[in-house]
């Protein structure tokens, strides 16, 4: 029997002396392609051919779809899904009939399978949020029937539980972001035409966290006021520059304060933090925007030791966390903001402006150095997606400048 190993081989396959032939996929056990000649071309259709168990020899088949409308990658995923059902002893003919109506749970499971292959750290937490917070309210409903109100209701239910327990709204925010990603997949797969959650601004539609440790400004108008106040700051020059640097880079406070000149590469517009300096204990690369590079060049003219932002008391020590938070209080924003909250500011506004800057939430997460990433994915992304991250960091700096100029 003829076979193929990849998409190129399948694409090039043609019938020679036959009008009809089965072709085996060497990559997935039960996946086959039925190739047959028409007047114009050779048509290829994916099938899942199987025996109900290893003991039974009667072969059955389930049509998956025509190639290339269904890609080889999609057909392989479907075949693997059917193989799992077969191995559990389920009747595949009945199971596939039930799956004609695609539910929210179907899409969520598809998203989980896709993301799980990346080996994400703490991915079980994301699965838990989906299963606990979304599936009970949305799981059995047809994805085509769900409306924006249904998704908002699910988030409101999470917030009601958060209020009852007296905790912040971190879970509802993270679940909302997961919901967006799941529905993005539904759009990409053609299950729905539009992602309704892209029309929802979390801070406007839902309650926001009141945790004082992570107080953050997330409204552009208020951020504009903060940026203006920073520019007019009358305190220490070093503190002022550290505040502005923090807004543009949204690094953790410890990384801003602990930044050393040896980490800065002006020639390649890159800051490299060693693993021991980072929360995740992994090397972190941060592309510099033009504005950040200019700020650091200015600081270089005032260099007073190894630290870019040294303490006013001793050049051998960095600025303290309290110094930055006290500066924000002096600017009049102490009730609304802490320095660490700049990360929330950037995360929120970058996610809300995806349509404007054009980069995915994965790129945003990489720039934030969040833990919801895999070590393998991180190594790949940090070496292969630096260009994207550099563009996003430049967009953010330009966005901040545009707020000040308005």
**Could you tell me which of 118, 116, 147 has the C-alpha nearest to residue 130?**
116
- Residue 210 pLDDT greater than 80, yes or no: no
Tell me, yes or no, if the two domains 3-98 and 104-209 fold the same way.
no
Fold of 3-98: Double Stranded RNA Binding Domain (3.30.160)
**Any idea which residue has 């249904």 for tokens?**
150
Joined together, the tokens standing for residue 403 give: 């707020």
pLDDT(108) > 70: yes
Structure-token match 């009809």, residue found? 20
Is residue 86 over pLDDT 70? yes
Q: Which among 259, 272, 243, 274 is positioned nearest to 308, based on CA atoms?
A: 259
Q: Name the residue with tokens 């938070």.
A: 325
Q: Does 318 have pLDDT greater than 50?
A: yes
Residue with tokens 């930055």: 324
* Neighbouring C-alpha atoms within 13 Å toward the C-beta of 196: 13
Give the integer Cα–Cα distance in Å for 203 and 108.
24
pLDDT band at 56 (very low <50, low <70, confident <90, very high): low
Alpha carbons 392 and 81: distance in angstroms, whole number: 36
pLDDT band of 202, cuts 50, 70, 90: confident
CATH 3.20.20.140 fits 214-405, yes or no: no
Task: Give the pLDDT confidence score for residue 98 in this predicted structure.
Answer: 56
The residue ranking higher by pLDDT, 38 or 270, is: 270
Distance CA 230, CA 298 (A): 16
Paired sense of beta strands 31-37 and 264-265, if any = unpaired
Q: What is the mean pLDDT of the chain?
A: 85
Confidence grade of residue 270 (pLDDT, cut at 50, 70, 90): very high
Domain boundaries, the chain: 3-98, 104-209, 214-405
Question: Counting Cβ atoms within 10 Å, is residue 183 exposed (0-12), middle (13-18) or buried (19+)?
Answer: buried
Backbone angles phi, psi at 268, to 5 degrees: -105, 10
Residue 144 scores a pLDDT above 60: yes
Encode burial over 83-101: b for 16+ CB neighbours within 10 A, e otherwise.
Answer: bebbeeeeebeeebeeeee
Residue 255 confidence class, pLDDT cut points 50, 70, 90? very high
pLDDT at position 95, please? 66
pLDDT > 60? residue 39? no
**Lowest-confidence region among 54-68, 117-131, 326-340, 360-374:** 117-131
Question: For residue 254, with 0-12 CB atoms within 10 Å meaning exposed, 13-18 middle and 19 or more buried, which class applies?
Answer: middle
CB atoms within 10 A of CB 18: 10
| Two structure tokens written together for 66 | 């025509």
- Residues 165-180 have pLDDT tens digits of 766 778 888 899 899 9
DSSP bridge partners of 284:
273
Q: Give 312 or 300, the one with higher predicted confidence.
A: 300
DSSP 284-340: EEEEPPHHHHHHHHHHHHT--SSBSSB-SS-TTSBPPHHHHHHHHHHTT-TTT--TT
Instruction: Note whether 33 and 45 are within 8 A (CB).
Output: yes
Does residue 376 register a pLDDT over 70?
Answer: no
pLDDT band (50, 70, 90) for residue 379:
very low
Distances 21 to 1, 16, 49, 327, 390 between C-alpha atoms, Å = 9, 10, 14, 75, 50
Q: For 58-62, 256-260, 351-355, 385-389, which range has the lowest pLDDT when averaged over its residues?
A: 58-62
- Per the CB < 8 A criterion, the answer to whether 35 and 13 are in contact is yes
C-alpha–C-alpha distance, residues 151 and 184, integer Å:
14
Residue 228 or 90, more confident: 228
Convert 234-253 into a string of H (helix), E (strand) and C (coil).
Answer: CCCHHHHHHHHHHHHHCCCH
pLDDT band at 377 (very low <50, low <70, confident <90, very high): very low
Which pLDDT does position 262 carry in this prediction?
Answer: 96
- pLDDT > 50? residue 141: yes
Name the strand (E) or helix (H) holding 163. Answer: helix 148-165
Other CB atoms within 10 A of residue 133 CB: 22
pLDDT of res. 122: 47
| Residue 142 pLDDT exceeds 50 | yes
Structure tokens at 227: 């940026």
CATH number listed for the domain at residues 104-209: 1.10.150.130
Cis peptide before 68 (omega within 30 of 0): yes
């Amino acid at each position: 029997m003829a076979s193929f190993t990849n998409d190129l081989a399948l694409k090039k396959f043609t019938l020679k002396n036959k009008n009809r032939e089965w072709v085996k996929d060497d990559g997935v056990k039960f996946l086959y392609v039925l190739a047959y000649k028409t007047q114009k071309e050779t048509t290829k259709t994916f099938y899942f051919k199987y025996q109900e168990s290893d003991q039974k020899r009667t072969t059955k088949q389930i049509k998956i779809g025509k190639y290339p409308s269904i890609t080889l990658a999609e057909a392989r995923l479907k075949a693997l899904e059917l193989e799992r059902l077969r191995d559990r002893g389920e009747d595949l003919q009945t199971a596939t009939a039930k799956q004609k109506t695609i539910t929210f749970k179907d899409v969520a499971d598809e998203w989980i399978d896709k993301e799980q292959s990346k080996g994400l750290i703490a991915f079980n937490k994301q699965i838990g949020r989906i299963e606990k917070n979304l599936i009970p309210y949305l799981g059995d409903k047809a994805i085509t029937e769900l409306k924006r109100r249904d998704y908002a209701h699910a988030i409101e239910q999470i917030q009601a539980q958060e209020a009852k327990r007296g905790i912040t709204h971190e879970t509802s925010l993270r679940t909302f972001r997961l919901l967006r990603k799941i529905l993005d997949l539904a759009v990409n797969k053609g299950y729905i035409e539009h992602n309704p959650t892209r029309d929802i601004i979390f801070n406007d539609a839902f309650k926001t966290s009141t945790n004082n440790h992570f107080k953050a400004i997330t409204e552009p108008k208020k951020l504009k006021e903060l940026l203006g106040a920073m520019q007019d700051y009358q305190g220490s020059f070093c503190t002022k520059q550290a505040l502005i640097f923090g807004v543009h880079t949204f690094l953790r406070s410890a990384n801003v304060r602990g930044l050393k000149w040896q980490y800065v590469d002006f020639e390649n517009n890159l800051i490299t933090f060693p693993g021991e300096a980072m929360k995740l204990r992994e090397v972190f690369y941060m592309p510099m925007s033009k504005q950040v590079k200019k700020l650091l060049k200015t600081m270089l003219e005032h260099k007073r030791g190894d630290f870019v932002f040294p303490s006013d008391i001793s050049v051998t020590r960095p600025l303290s966390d309290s110094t930055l938070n006290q500066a924000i209080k002096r600017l009049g924003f102490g009730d609304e903001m802490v320095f660490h909250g700049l990360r929330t500011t950037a995360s929120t506004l970058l996610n809300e402006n995806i349509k404007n800057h054009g980069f995915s939430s994965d790129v945003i997460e990489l720039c934030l150095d969040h833990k919801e990433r895999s070590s393998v994915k991180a190594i790949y992304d940090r070496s292969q997606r630096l260009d994207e991250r550099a563009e996003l960091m430049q967009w953010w700096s330009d966005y901040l400048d545009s707020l000040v100029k308005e």
